[in-house]
């Protein structure tokens, strides 16, 4: 009897020990999952970093022990569920799908809805967003669990955003925000709503959503940022008085001291909106002094540069301001924009110098102008004035000089096309139409003629070179030899940009597919002779020089070997 009791005690002890082992293992899996979820929810970027994925990997390892060695335990189903979710967040969608399908097969009663929800998410991530949306819609009709309904609504919204259907995502996100219990997640949902509202220019709702961000915010930084965005949205609504009033109230309140620089920046921009340029400039200058080396100072320098460039036309002063962004605000997002402006100003000065130098030389020596550099400089100035410096009238004078003084230039057709668009933007449709007809008459084979024919009611005669190119490209897919014949015909068109492209294509084919160096040289030379100032001519000159050097080396080596 004593031996029997001892044996029974041993059996019980083993059973209890075994139960403790798988319980502890499952408990560890749950702990790792909670830690991973906390990190994932609180992350500041869209991507799930290695620290988080490592946590999910540990969940899977612990869950697998329960699944593989304690399949009869009451934690088996829960372990499968954790495993499936962990695989999903690690983007191991096939493994996640396998886990949830297994869970449905062993415990459909308790895990039907949640497993179907996760399988729908896997469909989305696997490239079937419409299937996922349909499944999520069906699931949402049959559940009362508000937490899961919030998750489904958020998932539907994210899929719709992925499909670039932001306006349809809003109602789903609003449901998710209303049902979510977690304060942080609620704040994040309202943040997302405010951003989408801004993107679709629904500024009034953006303001309402930002107010909810403030309501559910758990950090002062988020609260300050949301208040600042509200001011910006009032500006977007052109409610300048309300925006100014909100700024003044916050500037007078010490609790907003951390965003005073940004508030003063917004106030300066409001002055610009009110056409009170003088006060705006003074504020921008004060910001650079009062808040040095800040993001606000960087933007203030940029605004001062824009004023000097576009309003004062003081290019030297503008360049100084743009350089101050780099020097005094090294982390500013306006550095790239400032650098771009500096490049534009340098290009402007270089083009101006070419024109002035050529004009002086022409007057002194009574020689013909070097049209290539001169016209390129004129076009560069026109392009900068029209599309970068907002000086349309000045740009038109440059383009007209090209058209009227250099009608044979390679840039004349391009200048005509730009002029037609500029006049159209100015509302002078009659002049724009005449210029377009001029292009069709004088440059019927140009890409500009092709564009005009495709995007206007003007009819042209014949088929353009670019239409022929398009047909040749399509023919090349099914009949390479026939396409080559078509490209040779196009290459014979006189003064056509389509001919230039055909020549370059033919040279490339003979170089890389037919390995016929004589034909390559033939077409390269035609490009140089017929289109000497083209980009393609520059490329082929370099190639020919490289070929010549290689041939000389081979010849020298052959001579040495023969000797």
- Among candidate residues 531, 530, 506, 528, the one with its CA nearest the CA of residue 518: 506
Q: Which of 351-365, 375-389, 431-445, 457-471 is most confident? A: 375-389
pLDDT of residue 259 exceeding 60, the answer is yes
Question: What is the pLDDT confidence band of residue 82, given thresholds at 50, 70 and 90?
Answer: very high
Phi–psi pair at 31, nearest 5 degrees: -65, -45
**Domain limits, the chain:** 370-455, 465-538
| CATH architecture of structural domain 370-455 | Alpha Horseshoe (1.25)
pLDDT given at position 432: 93
Confidence of residue 5 (pLDDT cuts 50, 70, 90): very low
pLDDT (0 to 100) of residue 352 = 95
Sequential DSSP letters for 115-180? HHHHHHHHHHHTT-HHHHHHHHHHHHTT---HHHHHHHHHHHHHHHHHTT-HHHHHHHHHHHHHH-
The mean predicted confidence, pLDDT, of the chain is 86
pLDDT tens, 42-58? 776 777 788 898 999 99
> Is 95 a residue whose pLDDT tops 80?
yes
**Interval 112-132: pLDDT, tens:** 888 999 999 999 999 999 999
Tens of pLDDT along 220-246? 999 999 999 999 999 999 999 999 999
For 465-538, CATH number?
A: 1.25.40
Cβ-based neighbours of 76, under 8 Å, separated by 6 or more: 66, 67, 70, 106
- pTM for the model stands at 0.69
Common-topology check for domains 370-455 and 465-538: yes
Asked if 408 and 415 touch (Cβ cutoff 8 Å), the reply is no
Measured CA to CA in angstroms, residue 349 lies from 58, 293, 335 at distances of: 62, 30, 21
483, pLDDT greater than 90: no
What is the reported pLDDT for 339?
96
Q: Which pLDDT belongs to residue 431? A: 94
Distance CA 524, CA 527 (A): 5
Q: How far is CA 407 from CA 263, 439, 535, in A?
A: 54, 12, 20
- Name all contacts of 372-381 with Cβ < 8 Å and 24+ positions apart: 372/409, 372/533, 374/406, 375/402, 375/406, 375/409, 375/411, 376/351, 376/411, 377/350, 377/351, 377/352, 378/351, 378/402, 379/411, 379/414, 379/415, 380/347, 380/348, 380/351, 381/348, 381/351, 381/352, 381/355
412 confidence band (pLDDT: 50, 70, 90): very high
Phi/psi at 120 (5° precision): -65, -40
Torsion sign, CA atoms 171, 176, 177, 178? positive
Q: What is the dihedral of CA 202, 204, 207, 213, to 10 degrees?
A: -70
pLDDT at 496: 72
Determine how many CB atoms are found less than 10 A away from the CB of residue 538: 12
* Res 22 pLDDT > 70: no
Residue 301 contacts residue 338 (beta carbons within 8 Å): yes
Among residues 28, 41, 308, which one has the least CA distance to residue 187? 41
């Amino acid at each position: 009897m004593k031996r029997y009791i001892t044996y029974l005690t041993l059996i019980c002890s083993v059973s209890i020990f075994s139960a403790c082992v798988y319980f502890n293992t499952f408990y560890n899996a749950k702990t790792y999952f909670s830690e991973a979820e906390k990190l994932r929810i609180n992350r500041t970027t869209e991507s799930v970093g290695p620290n988080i994925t490592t946590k999910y990997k540990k969940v899977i390892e612990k869950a697998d022990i329960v699944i593989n060695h304690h399949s009869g335990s009451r934690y088996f189903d829960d372990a499968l569920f954790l495993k499936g979710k962990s695989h999903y967040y690690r983007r191991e969608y096939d493994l996640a799908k396998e886990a949830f399908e297994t869970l449905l097969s062993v415990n459909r009663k308790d895990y039907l809805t949640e497993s179907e929800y996760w399988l729908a998410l896997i469909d989305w991530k696997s490239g079937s967003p419409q299937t996922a949306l349909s499944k999520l819609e069906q699931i949402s009709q049959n559940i009362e669990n508000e937490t899961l309904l919030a998750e489904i609504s958020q998932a539907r919204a994210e899929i719709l955003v992925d499909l670039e259907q932001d306006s349809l995502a809003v109602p789903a996100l609003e449901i998710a925000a209303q049902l979510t219990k977690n304060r942080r997640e609620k704040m994040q949902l309202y943040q997302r709503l405010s951003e989408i509202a801004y993107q679709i220019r629904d500024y009034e709702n953006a303001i309402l959503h930002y107010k909810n961000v403030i309501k559910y915010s758990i950090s002062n930084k988020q609260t300050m940022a949301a208040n600042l965005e509200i001011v910006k949205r009032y500006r977007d609504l052109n409610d300048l008085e309300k925006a100014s009033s909100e700024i003044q109230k916050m500037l007078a309140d010490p609790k907003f001291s951390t965003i005073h620089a940004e508030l003063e920046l917004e106030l300066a921009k409001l002055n610009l909106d009110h056409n009170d340029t003088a006060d705006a400039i003074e504020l921008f200058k004060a910001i650079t002094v009062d808040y040095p080396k800040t993001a606000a100072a960087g933007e203030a320098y940029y605004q001062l540069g824009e004023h000097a460039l576009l309003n004062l036309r003081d290019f030297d002063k503008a360049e100084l301001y743009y350089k101050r962004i780099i020097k005094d605000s090294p982390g500013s997002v306006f550095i790239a924009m400032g650098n771009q402006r500096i490049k534009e100003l340098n290009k402007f000065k270089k083009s101006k110098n070419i024109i002035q130098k050529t004009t002086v030389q022409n007057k002194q020596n009574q020689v013909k102008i070097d049209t290539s550099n001169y016209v390129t400089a004129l076009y560069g100035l026109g392009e900068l004035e029209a599309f970068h410096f907002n000086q349309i009238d000045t740009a038109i004078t440059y383009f007209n000089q090209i058209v009227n003084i250099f009608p044979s230039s390679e840039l004349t057709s391009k200048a005509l096309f730009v002029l037609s668009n500029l006049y159209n933007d100015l509302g002078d449709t009659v002049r724009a139409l005449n210029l377009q007809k001029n292009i069709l008459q004088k440059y019927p084979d140009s890409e500009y003629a092709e564009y005009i024919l495709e995007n206007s009611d003007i009819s042209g005669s014949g088929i353009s070179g670019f239409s022929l190119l398009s047909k040749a490209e399509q023919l090349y897919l099914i009949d390479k030899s026939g396409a080559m014949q078509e490209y040779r015909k196009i290459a014979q068109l006189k003064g056509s940009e389509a001919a230039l492209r055909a020549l370059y294509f033919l040279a490339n084919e003979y170089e890389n597919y037919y390995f016929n160096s004589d034909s390559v040289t033939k077409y390269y030379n035609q490009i140089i002779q017929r289109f000497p100032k083209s980009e393609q001519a520059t490329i082929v000159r370099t190639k020919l020089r490289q070929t010549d050097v290689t041939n000389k080396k081979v010849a020298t080596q052959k001579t040495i070997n023969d000797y």
